[in-house]
Amino acid sequence: MEQRFPLIGERFPELEVKTTHGVKKLPDDYRGKWFILFSHPADFTPVCTTEFVAFQRRYEKFREMNTELIGLSIDQVFSHIKWVEWIREKLNVEIQFPIIADDTGAVANRLGLIHPGKGTNTVRAVFIVDPEGIIRAILYYPQEIGRNMDEILRMIDAFQVSDKNGVAIPANWPENELIGNEVIIPPAADVKTAEERPKQYECFDWWFCHKSLE
């Protein structure tokens, strides 16, 4: 059977990975929690260092949202350990989340993280996985552009609000240009519901209704 890369809506592949915090089994070791697996091109590189510091600065916010972080690159464990030590000693930041040491490239190849034009380097990818082990979002970035961690925090918040309330989330939420911090009611599936919607909610039209979560 041909192996292909995982897609949004599918279960995260079962993988046993070697990390700076010991061996972990994905996604089972994170059952009941959201987790973000993010890959970086290499240790001891400037953009990646800024990203790890940025993730760590927000780590408590992620954990408050029942979300764990796990990094990955095609480097050996000792390289990860020395890099984390360097960040602590030079930048006074303690990296508290695990980093996968994918020195064989097996994990990166399974997840589609190898940059085609950069040899064995991994792209900047982000997998957002829910408490049931289902992939909810996949983001890819080029090597030269660092990620926006606040957007990743916003996505976790948005997923949790959407799942809990059965609603959709507008652009730039919670500061949307049309409806502010309100959320969107899913489109009506029949004529009767469409006719009732404007009586129940604030609407621009029957197919675009919104409400406050307060």
The domain spans of the chain are 15-147, 166-214
Average pLDDT of the segment spanning 8-28:
96
Q: Please tell me the distance from the alpha carbon of residue 106 to that of residue 8, in angstroms, as a whole number.
A: 20
pLDDT interval class at 119 (50, 70, 90): low
Supply the pLDDT for residue 121. Answer: 67
* pLDDT (tens digit per residue) in 175-185: 999 999 999 99
Q: How many CB atoms lie within 10 A of CB 139?
A: 16
Judge whether 15-147 and 166-214 match in fold: no
Q: Please tell me the distance from the alpha carbon of residue 104 to that of residue 108, in angstroms, as a whole number.
A: 9
Phi-psi region of 154 (alpha: psi -120 to 50; beta: other; left: phi over 0): alpha
Which phi and psi angles does 160 have, rounded to 5°? -70, -40
Q: What is the mean pLDDT of the chain?
A: 93
Answer with the residue of higher pLDDT: 3 or 138. Answer: 138
Task: Give catalytic residue positions.
Answer: 48
> CATH number of the domain at 15-147, out of 3.40.50.1220, 3.40.50.300, 3.40.50.1400, 3.40.30.10?
3.40.30.10
Which phi and psi angles does 35 have, rounded to 5°? -145, 150
Q: How many CB atoms lie within 10 A of CB 137?
A: 16
Q: Please tell me the distance from the alpha carbon of residue 196 to that of residue 52, in angstroms, as a whole number.
A: 49
Answer with the residue of higher pLDDT: 158 or 104. Answer: 158
Query: Per this entry, what is the length of the chain?
Result: 214
Supply the pLDDT for residue 123. Answer: 79
Q: Which fold would CATH assign to domain 166-214?
A: Antioxidant, Horf6; Chain A, domain 2 (3.30.1020)
Q: Does 50 score more than 90 pLDDT?
A: yes
Which of 107, 114, 169 has the alpha carbon at shortest distance from 140? 114
